[in-house]
């Protein structure tokens, strides 16, 4: 697959003097984009198939993007759990230690494994041991 770009150079009357063009072979880029899209679809399918909570956070510990499993479990809306809003569903005694443990795991580039209490959407608590993807 080739992507072309060209610019026409004209004289004062608008006549074309020359055309300068360049062509890029974008085959490998397109294949990589298709593979990435397929990988994303597989990941979303896997997320929907598991009964555990799966979510994604930024390195600083802030939730970013749509987190359907988290929302379904906690009852938090998208706006509720953005940034550190997710920590409002964590038991108050566990919220700051959870954030601290996340930041330490990221700084040390190690797997985050931490157990804390999470409030379910029905108001009852649940103990959770999280070991998300690296």
pLDDT in tens, 54-72: 788 888 888 888 888 899 8
pLDDT in tens, 93-124: 999 999 999 999 999 999 888 888 898 888 87
Cβ burial of 76 (10 Å; 0-12, 13-18, 19+) is: buried
Q: How far apart are the first and last CA of the chain?
A: 35
Residue ranges per structural domain of the chain: 1-49, 51-130
Q: Is 60 exceeded by the pLDDT of residue 10?
A: yes
The closest alpha carbon to 61, from 26, 29, 41, 87, belongs to 87
- CATH number 3.30.450.20 is the correct assignment for the domain at 51-130: yes
> In the structure, what pLDDT confidence band is assigned to residue 131 with cuts at 50, 70 and 90?
very low
Q: What global pTM score does this model have?
A: 0.57
Q: What is the mean pLDDT of residues 28-51?
A: 81
């Amino acid at each position: 697959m080739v992507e072309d770009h060209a610019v026409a150079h004209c004289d004062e009357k608008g006549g074309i003097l020359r055309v300068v063009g360049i062509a890029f072979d974008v085959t490998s880029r397109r294949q990589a984009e298709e593979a990435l899209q397929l990988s994303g679809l597989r990941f979303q399918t896997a997320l929907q198939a598991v009964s555990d909570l799966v979510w994604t956070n930024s390195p600083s510990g802030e939730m970013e993007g749509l987190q359907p499993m988290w929302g379904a479990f906690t009852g938090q809306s998208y706006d509720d759990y953005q940034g550190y809003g997710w920590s409002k569903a964590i038991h108050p005694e566990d919220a700051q230690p959870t954030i601290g443990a996340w930041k330490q795991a990221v700084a040390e580039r190690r797997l985050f494994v931490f157990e804390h209490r999470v409030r379910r959407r029905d108001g009852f608590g649940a103990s959770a041991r999280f070991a998300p993807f690296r």
